[in-house]
Amino acid sequence: MEGSAGERRSGTGAGMFPSRAAVDLTEDEWHRVIDVSLTSTLLFSQAAARSMIELRSGGVIVNVCSRAGLRPQPGMLGYSAAKVGVVSLTQTMAQELAYHGIRVNAVAPGPVSSGAQSTAHGPAVGGFATSAEWKASYYSRIPMKRGPQSRSDEKLAYLRRYLLPLKRH
């Protein structure tokens, strides 16, 4: 993305989460979730940073991590490992790219209503027989006792716009 005065802005975010107990997660599922959630973030962030360095424009990169990367949950081993990797990748790139005037941040929005969300927690993973039981347990730990509202995609977009301003701070 192009900001004012040639400032470059970029945001990443991808995720998939097969719902499997750790001992049942296949190597192919592991590689697929790491590729989609972590490797794609690395490659996109590298491309954005290289462009910003070449243009000497400074800029902002915003990656999407997840609460699951900060507080892992049963049945989400690959996804949790990938998202904690995004946290580390973001912190490392922030340190390395600061010299070039490039800020690197991550957001961990919590559950976002999506098609993938509805199939993330299959039967009998983490001791929950159904996705509805998982949601009830998950939301019971949230102070406001609610999950993603409609328009959660718009809220995430707003958060990204906040971190990807058109003007430098």
CATH class of 4-112+149-161: alpha beta
Per-residue pLDDT of 62-117, as tens digits, reads 998 888 888 887 888 999 999 999 999 999 999 999 999 999 999 887 666 555 44
Would you say residue 119 has pLDDT above 70?
no
The per-residue pLDDT for 90 is 97
Q: Where are the domains of the chain?
A: 4-112+149-161
Cβ-based neighbours of 119, under 8 Å, separated by 6 or more: 19, 131
C-alpha distances out from residue 84 to 48, 58, 88, 111, Å: 21, 26, 6, 16
Average pLDDT, the chain: 76
Look up the pTM and report it. Answer: 0.71
Q: What percent of the chain lies above the pLDDT cut of 90?
A: 41
Higher-pLDDT residue of 6 and 10 is: 10
Question: Which sequence positions are flagged as catalytic?
Answer: 79
